[in-house]
Amino acid sequence: MERAELGRRIYEVAHLTGEFTLRSGVTTDHYFDKYRFEADPVLLEAVAEAMVPLVPAGTEVLAGLEMGGIPVVTALGRQTGLPCAFVRKEAKAYGTCRLAEGAEIAGRRVLVVEDVVTSGGQIVLSTRELRALGADVREALCVIDREQGGAAALKEIDLGLLSLLKAADLG
């Protein structure tokens, strides 16, 4: 499926209007409910297939951020054959007490995978923690870049942002 068609389908399924407060604290009158396209297995598979060419050469592990990045990274892992790590917002206090579950990240080239990027705040926090655990993180890949400062925030920590779609591509 071509990107323009994919953008149209995501918009049809996930675009909502009303009043919404984003994680960044910004209030908006439109919202892309990522869970609506992530819950559609056919659409999610098309998204993952379209993201494959954006995965940088040398990537060893795909790291999906809780919660929206988890279905995306799982579908992308199926398409690429790369192992996945599932990154919590904070390490759990029981069991393995790990921040990143699944594939080992220490000493490996890790691509952070997220669904929607607005300010980039969670990617910045998670990347710092992954790097502290020994991961080599150079880029983040998202389905939708809302183009509201996320790329600039990531650049400040020497992290590139790759995106399948930009806000302008939707609707």
Q: Are 101 and 85 in contact (CB under 8 A)?
A: yes
Ligand-binding annotation for 166, yes or no, is: no
- Which pLDDT does position 32 carry in this prediction? 80
Contact 122, 159 (CB under 8 A): no
Residue at token pair 């009303």: 18
119 to 55, 75, 106, 138: CA distances (angstroms) = 22, 24, 27, 18
* Residue 80 marked in a binding site: no
pLDDT > 90: percent of the chain: 81
Q: Which two tokens stand for residue 52?
A: 């494959």
Q: Which residues span the domain enclosing 63? A: 3-169
- Is 114 annotated as ligand-binding? yes
Cα–Cα distance measured from residue 53 to residue 80, given in angstroms and rounded to the nearest whole number: 10
Can you read off the two tokens belonging to residue 38? Answer: 């992530």
- The set of residues, in sequence order, having a beta carbon less than 8 Å from that of 8 and lying 6+ positions away, is none
109 is in an annotated binding site: no
User: Is 128 annotated among the ligand-binding residues?
Assistant: no
89 is in an annotated binding site: yes
Does the pLDDT value for residue 93 go beyond 90? no
Query: Is 36 among the annotated ligand-binding positions?
Result: no
Confidence (pLDDT) at 171: 66
Per-residue confidence at 94, pLDDT binned at 50, 70, 90?
A: confident
Bridge partners, 86 (sequence order): 64, 101
- 18 falls in which pLDDT band (50, 70, 90)? very high
Q: What is the pLDDT of residues 24-35, one digit of tens each?
A: 788 989 888 889
118 is in an annotated binding site: yes
Place of tokens 């939707």: 170
- The answer to whether the annotation marks 146 as part of a ligand binding site is yes
Taking only the tens place, the pLDDT of each residue in 37-84 is 999 999 999 999 999 999 999 999 999 999 999 999 999 999 999 999
What is the C-alpha separation between 120 and 148, in angstroms, rounded? 9
The answer to whether the annotation marks 116 as part of a ligand binding site is yes
Average pLDDT over residues 98-123: 95
88 labeled part of a ligand binding site: yes
**What domain count does the chain have?**
1
Q: Angle formed by the axes of helices 69-80 and 41-51, to 10°?
A: 60
Question: Residue 122 annotated as binding?
Answer: yes
CATH of the domain at 29: 3.40.50.2020
Rounded to whole angstroms, the Cα distance separating 66 from 64 reads 7
